[in-house]
Amino acid sequence: MASRTNRRILLGGVLLCTAALPCADSARLIAAESRLQPAAVAANFPVASAARLAGDGKQTRFILDLDQTVTFRAVTLGDPYRVVVDVPQVNFQLPAGTGSGGRGLVKAFRYGLVMPGGSRIVFDLTGPAKIAKSYVLEAANGQPARLVLELEEVDRTAFVSSRAPENRPELRPAIAEAPPATVPSAAAPEGAQQKADTRPVVVIDPGHGGIDNGTQSSGESEKNLVLAFGLALRDKLEKAGKYRVVMTRDDDTFVPLNDRTKIARNLKAALFVSIHADALPRAEGDAQGATIYTLSDKASDAEAQRLADAENRADAIAGFNLAEEPTDVADILIDLTQRETRTFSNRFARHLMSEMKQTVRMHKHPLKSAGFRVLKAPDVPSVLVEIGYVSNKGDLEQLVSEGWRSRAVGSMAQAIDGFLTKRMATAGTSN
């Protein structure tokens, strides 16, 4: 498997320009993005140029126009009803808004990368349906190659029988227990001394990615904003040289929630920091500023519960069946280790708030808690930081500002250093 730390992308192809940050002021951002572009972008990935639905509530057809034929696999999932189509990596160049509306048996559909070399299309259905036909047409008579999916309405009984265990292919992408690049190589030259890297590990987790865009507003996607922030934080910490910094993703790849947690646990990380940028429903007001969340069994307020519920659905967005997720982490939440870890998480959250409020605007209630799945590593202090609200005009202007990001990253890096320095000193004293 290719190293995550060696993969780079152009950040979603999004030009980070707003009224407060015009394109002329974004030259450095664009230059930075171009440096992140991988050689793989030049590869001849199939291009999807158009997608459409036809039909009614009894029979619905999906058509995807491509510049070359592709192989694919299509399966149905229940609770909720979905169809998932896996294809090799595709360069989706579809018009804005494609998939947001539905027709017939399809309420909406979404698409994107789920792992390097693999893309996915997920259809949300109005009810149980079967895949009557699925095929690829070669280009002919001036028409492009096409992937075609024909769906037919069925009742619940027929749907369940079609989902017998032997008919349920594994959809979960194969992700290594930990990124290979984070482990010292065993293949050192003969006679060479392999010195172990004993520096504390900090795992940075940019939320969402790939098929999961996160929240979107004014042409900006959360997955791109938090990736840019996470990469800047990584670079800041690495420059100091005191920590090994590992990204759960450093490109536009989807990573399941459990795998994000496993990366931190397998590396025995000293700290796990998940980065997000929320959006509020219009009815909930115009909140603004950064918020720091820790894990708790009971949410601190309704907004924290809503956010946790939304973030915990990330795997469902990519087509995974959450009912089949392993429960080992949940089963040991009551362990003494987990209680100690929560204490350290809360301590770091308070320290982070103290540092961040010196440089960036904070939410009126900056410390909150809820049952975030991504924070459930029982032995790794973990926080989730909402760096701002993309639904707030002022916050969004800051989120796309290089100057604001530099200040916010600086205060976060200082908080991480202060927390870990004190913890290591305490651990050394106790030994």
> Coil, strand or helix: which one is 204?
strand
Cβ atoms 398, 290 nearer than 8 A? no
Asked whether residue 240 falls in the same domain as residue 372, the answer is yes
Q: Is residue 15 included in any domain, yes or no?
A: no
Q: Which residues contact 168 (CB under 8 A, 6 or more apart)?
A: 75
Q: Which two tokens stand for residue 122?
A: 């997920």
Q: Which of 161, 184, 209 is the last residue of a domain?
A: 161
Asked whether residue 395 falls in the same domain as residue 277, the answer is yes
Per-residue CA distances from 273 to 163, 245, 374, 409 (Å):
38, 11, 10, 12
Asked whether residue 211 falls in the same domain as residue 135, the answer is no
**Integer Cα distance of 84 and 140 in angstroms:** 27
Q: Is residue 8 included in any domain, yes or no?
A: no
Task: Report the residue count for the chain.
Answer: 431
**What are the counts of helices (DSSP H) followed by strands (DSSP E) for the chain?**
10, 17
**131 has which bridge partners?**
151
In degrees, rounded to 5, the angle at the alpha carbon of residue 100 between the alpha carbons of residues 305 and 40 is: 95
Asked whether residue 209 falls in the same domain as residue 355, the answer is yes
47-55/59-66 β-pairing:
antiparallel
pLDDT one-digit tens code per residue, 348-390: 999 999 999 999 999 999 999 999 999 999 899 999 999 999 9
pLDDT of the residue at 171? 45
Asked whether residue 212 falls in the same domain as residue 320, the answer is yes
**Integer Cα distance of 220 and 20 in angstroms:** 14
Cβ atoms 46, 88 nearer than 8 A? yes
pLDDT of the residue at 287? 76
**Integer Cα distance of 48 and 46 in angstroms:** 7
Cβ atoms 284, 180 nearer than 8 A? no
> Coil, strand or helix: which one is 132?
strand
Q: Is residue 41 included in any domain, yes or no?
A: no
Q: How far is CA 264 from the centre of its chain?
A: 15
> Coil, strand or helix: which one is 413?
helix
**Integer Cα distance of 427 and 409 in angstroms:** 27
Q: Is residue 35 included in any domain, yes or no?
A: no
Cβ atoms 209, 220 nearer than 8 A? no
Nearest to 302 by CA among 383, 252, 384, 368: 368
Asked whether residue 290 falls in the same domain as residue 414, the answer is yes
Nearest to 123 by CA among 74, 158, 69: 74
Q: Is residue 140 included in any domain, yes or no?
A: yes
**Integer Cα distance of 199 and 219 in angstroms:** 40
The structural domain count of the chain equals 2
Q: Which amino acid is at 228?
A: A
The residue behind tokens 């559909």 is 109
> Coil, strand or helix: which one is 278?
strand
Q: Which of 135, 161, 187 is the last residue of a domain?
A: 161
User: What is the extent of the structural domain holding 266?
Assistant: 198-430
Q: Give the count of alpha carbons within 13 A of 406, CB side only.
A: 5
Asked whether residue 87 falls in the same domain as residue 146, the answer is yes
Q: Is residue 151 included in any domain, yes or no?
A: yes
pTM for the model? 0.73
pLDDT of the residue at 428? 60
Asked whether residue 155 falls in the same domain as residue 216, the answer is no
Q: Is residue 205 included in any domain, yes or no?
A: yes
Q: Is residue 20 included in any domain, yes or no?
A: no
Task: Give, for all 431 residues of the chain, the pLDDT tens digit.
Answer: 333 333 333 333 333 333 333 333 333 333 333 333 343 443 689 999 999 999 999 999 999 999 999 999 999 988 889 999 999 999 999 998 899 999 999 999 999 999 888 999 999 999 999 999 999 999 999 999 999 999 999 998 888 876 654 444 444 443 333 333 333 333 444 444 457 888 999 999 999 999 999 988 888 899 999 999 999 999 999 999 999 999 999 999 999 999 999 999 999 999 999 999 988 765 455 678 999 999 998 999 998 999 999 898 888 888 865 544 444 544 544 456 678 899 999 999 999 999 999 999 999 999 999 999 999 998 999 999 999 999 889 999 999 999 999 999 999 999 999 999 998 887 665 55
CATH number (domain holding residue 128): 2.60.40.3500
Q: Which of 134, 161, 188 is the last residue of a domain?
A: 161
Asked whether residue 224 falls in the same domain as residue 301, the answer is yes
H-assigned helices in 241-331: 257-266, 302-311, 314-317, 328-331
The residue behind tokens 């002022």 is 394
**Integer Cα distance of 198 and 287 in angstroms:** 42
DSSP codes, 334-401: TSHHHHHHHHHHHHHHHHHHHHHTTTS-EEEEEEEEE--GGG--TTS-EEEEEEEETTSHHHHHHHT-
R_g over Cα of the chain: 23
Asked whether residue 141 falls in the same domain as residue 206, the answer is no
Asked whether residue 278 falls in the same domain as residue 135, the answer is no
pLDDT of the residue at 278? 86
**Integer Cα distance of 122 and 112 in angstroms:** 9
CATH number (domain holding residue 366): 3.40.630.40
Asked whether residue 230 falls in the same domain as residue 371, the answer is yes
